[in-house]
Structure formats: structure tokens, C-alpha cells
Amino acid sequence: MEQRRLGRTDVQVSALCLGTMTFGEQNSEAEGHAQMDFAFEKGINFFDAAELYPIPPKKETQGRTERIIGTWFKKTGKRDKVIMATKAVGRTGMDWFRENGELGRLTRKQIEFALDRSLRNLQTDYVDLYQLHWPDRNTSRFGSNPTRWVDVDPADDEHSIESTLEILADQVKAGKIRHIGVSNESAWGTMRFIAAAERLGLPRLVSIQNAYSLINRTFETGLAEVARREDVGLLGYSALAQGYLTGKYRDGALPPGARKTLFDRLQRYEHPRAIEATNAYLDLAAQAGLDPAQMALAFAKSRSFMTSVILGATRMDQLETDIAAADLELSADVLERIDALHQEFGNPAP
């Protein structure tokens, strides 16, 4: 498994990262442990979680994912061999993350509460990478650069990037966090974090976790240059477009146990242009003799701004297929054909 540098640190992470958001909902504790065992054996040393998980977010399941990872650490003794990443929620109307129904905000009290609970859940005394799951401010779009700008008003109680960075810096000093990152962030927000760190002598971002796939390359429009020049590499999620780029939902199929079948949450991939684009990439994979999931993951892995591609699977055979993409290098012809389709379809599912 290829290892890549995390930001400007001396930490090396695998080019594929094990995503865990199904642990505690679609996957049992035993299944989660089996996935971590297999991924670790295949050379993945990087696990990603969040206080929010599992997905979909619910009060009664919140925190299960981290707790499943924690029991695996306790059982295997491999905590020091894994680069563990987790996240704190940003501004949210969900009222079950904090004490007494307090709505989620990036205040000192809330960040400290979230971090301490994550540490208990994970059965560890430090997190290698602590990420802000999304900003404290209102933004035009969640999870990617917008393809169409929507005006949003600043929140009255918005907390500044500088104040958030100072809070995280204190946790780094306390030894609870080793490095910090952002998620679902914009080019503007990322650069503000970097500028504040340089100006105030505070910890620097090492990563940004945003959506990136064949049908959502919006990261390239502004953030790719930031990632390359500032060494804030992408941790790409939804590289399989939440399963659509595997072909399992093609022609309206609803496989038993799949996320769409269970939760009906994936409408962004189902408008006509997104379906047309997805089918074109699936057809390209078939023409090239490639597994479509592996082609999509190998493409994401090949990007110069990508630090690690986050994998998510509910079945072991899916995980085996996905991890095998680590050894796949796409030909120049396939890459040219992918870019030709992108020129035709753009970003139909941001």
C-alpha cells in the first residue's frame, strides 16, 4: 500500500483510508471489527470516523461508530499502529450532540466536550487528526464548491476561524490532538485557516476532507491549487458517489441492504443528467475491462492533490474490491476518456 505524507508533517498515511460511517447502523460491531482487521492486513493504516456517525445521523445511534473502533483498539492493541481521524460537528440544528439539547456550535465548551467524548469512545488519549466536520458559518453549499452560488446571511452568533483555531491549538498543547484538519470547507475558509495559523503562530491545517468523484470534481475549481501549494491534501469522500459509480443502482435497481434501499437519501445522483453521466462512466469501465468501482477509486487516487481516498463498504466483498484499487494505475487512454466525459457532463452531482 502506497504511503503519502499528511500535510507538512512527518506522518505517513495509506493512499486508501478506511471510512467507518456504517459501523453501528448497517454494520454490526463484529462486522466493523472484521473490516478493520482486513483493511489493516492489506496495509491501510488510516481510519476515519466522526462523532456524528453512524449515518444517517440519529440520536439513538450517535457515537456507536467510535465505540466500535474503540473496542477494536482494546481487543487488538493496535492503537499506536493506526492514524486515527475523527470529527466534531459544526453549526447544526440537531439537538442531541451536546448537553441539555444545546445546538451544535464551534465554541470552546462544545469542542472540548466533543473531543473528550470521542477520546472515551475510541478508548484512547489522543487523536492523530481532529477535523471540523463542517464550518460554524453558514455556507452556500455543503460538501463541495457550489456550481451555482446561493447567497447566505452570516449567523448572528458565528464564531471566527481565528477563535476556533485557538481552541484547537490548546488541545494540541494538551496532547489530545496531534494534527488538525477541516471538512466540507471552501477555498476561502481553508485559506483563512492557513493565514490565521501563520499570523498567530498556531497549528496549521494538514488536510481537507471534501467530496470528490468522477461526477463531482468541484474540488478542482478552487481547492486543488490550495491543496497543492499549501500542502493541505484532500481526503476524498464519496469517491464512488455513494455507490452509484459501482453500477449497483443502475436502471433503478435497489439492492437489499444498500443505503439507498434502506434510507432513500441519495437524490442528488438521480436527476437525469447525473444518471446519464454515471452510465457513461460505467460504460467506459466496461469498455476498458475495468471494475467500475476500482476505476473510480483509481482515478481519485491518481490526483496530485489527493492524500488519501476514503473507502466505505458494508460487505467484505465490496471492501476487497475497493482495496484492490490500490494496485490499479489507469492508462493514459482511460484518463483521456474520463476527461472527455467530464468535459461533456461537468459536475452533475455536487
Q: How far apart are CA 265 and CA 310, in angstroms?
A: 20
Directed axis angle between helix 292-301 and helix 272-288, to 10°? Answer: 100
Q: Is 53 a catalytic residue?
A: yes
Give the burial string for 29-55 (b: 16+ CB within 10 Å, else e): eebbbebbebbbebebbbbbbbbbbbb
Exposed, middle or buried: residue 163 (CB in 10 Å: 0-12, 13-18, 19+)? middle
What gap in Å lies between CA 274 and CA 258, rounded to an integer? 19
Angle, in degrees to the nearest 10, between helices 272-288 and 332-345: 170
Helices (H), the chain: 29-41, 64-76, 108-122, 161-173, 187-200, 223-230, 259-263, 272-288, 292-301, 316-324, 332-345
Q: Are 22 and 333 in contact (CB under 8 A)?
A: no
At residue 265, the 3 state secondary structure works out as coil
Q: How far is CA 64 from the centre of its chain?
A: 18
Helix, strand, coil percentages for the chain (3-state, nearest 5): 45, 15, 40
Active-site amino acid positions: 53
